[in-house]
Amino acid sequence: MFLFLGHSEDPCCAGVFARLEARGLPVRVVAAPLAPPAQLTWRLDAAGLASSLYPDVPDTAIAGVLVRDTGWLEPAGWDAADHAYMQAELRAVTLAWLAGLACPVINRPDAALWYRAGAPLLAWRALLRRSGLPLPEVVITSDPAEARAFRRRLAAGGVAGAVYAPLTEAAGFLLADDDAWERLAALQERAPVCLTEPHGAVTLACIVGNAVIWDRALPPGAVALEPALRRFAAAARLDFVEIALAPVRRGLAVVLVDTLPRLEHFALPARARILDALVALLTQERERAVAPAAPGVLS
């Protein structure tokens, strides 16, 4: 049996599900892996680790796991503190269970990945840089003069405005005029702000195993980044990651890393290749489907 932690309406779950089902391979999709009918026993002792999540399927019979969600306990009916505790407990147990499985787990989480899902690009920056990937300039400052200096540097490069990108939100706000910069300066009285340079149209790459799957037409320089993209995914121990590249002042740069790639971001031909590669990873048919097309071949 294959197990998907996520939702059946997620196109990625649905697509892989359909491919496995077409081969006659059983799949179970669960949003709350520890909820009944699950009945977990996870035992670690001198003999090693033995675990069982479902009474009807031993963990050793789970052929592969696709992790699309880290689990969310509905807060309705819970006291806020108790909800936070139970949520933390369920996530802690799910992480341990996933970490101990012998089958392929995509992505097999470690604590840093599990507890920082959705982390901003800045959290990946050192690893991206060490992998040889170009990055946009970022400034964090509570000094309005430094913010103005960044604005001037961008303007000198022909870029009007900057993007204010709070690190605790998945949002960005274009600072397009003097009013916006003045409001930013007022905010800086209280806390530092994270600014980055605006970028051009995004090109998406999805790395699945060792395959770099591009979406649509490739901008100049993209193919040359494939080895660095593979190095990054390997160093981050990610079997499945979406990376957005876009032109900034000094050329193409990584502007987003998403460890829960969205299939719906990609055009249909790329989706098919991503799903094929995922199925190959889950079923361990690495030689057949993970071997990518020639570098730079459009999907």
Q: Which residues in this chain contact another protein in the complex, by CB under 8 A?
A: 34, 36, 38-46, 49, 84-86, 88-93, 95-97, 99-100, 110-116, 119-120, 122-127, 129, 134-135, 137-143, 146, 150, 166-168, 190-192, 194, 235-238
Q: Least distance in Å: CB of 261 to another protein?
A: 16
Tokens read off for 33? 């892996």
Q: How far is the CB of 112 from another protein (least distance, A)?
A: 4
Three-state SS for 24? coil
Closer of 143 and 182 to another protein (Cβ): 143
Nearer to another protein, 24 or 36 (CB): 36
The letter for the amino acid at 111 is A
The distance of closest approach from Cβ of residue 230 to another protein in the complex, given in angstroms and rounded to an integer, is: 15
Q: Which is nearer to another protein, 113 or 212 (CB)?
A: 113
Residue environment code for 270-298, b if the CB has 16+ CB neighbours within 10 A, otherwise e: bbebbbbbbbbbbbeeeeebbebeeeeee
> Smallest Cα–Cα separation from 25: which of 55, 4, 48, 50?
4
CB closer to another protein out of 76 and 268: 76
Measured distance CA(173)–CA(162) in Å, rounded: 8
CB of 7 to another protein, least distance (A): 21
3-state secondary structure at position 30: strand
Q: 95 CB contacts (<8 Å, ≥6 apart)? A: 109, 111, 114
Smallest distance, Å, CB 142 to another protein? 5
For residue 143, the minimal CB distance to another protein (Å) is 5
Q: Are 31 and 71 in contact (CB under 8 A)?
A: yes
Structure tokens belonging to residue 43? 């035992």
C-alpha–C-alpha distance, residues 291 and 299, integer Å = 14
Q: Which is nearer to another protein, 183 or 216 (CB)?
A: 183
Which CB sits closer to another protein, 259 or 283? Answer: 259
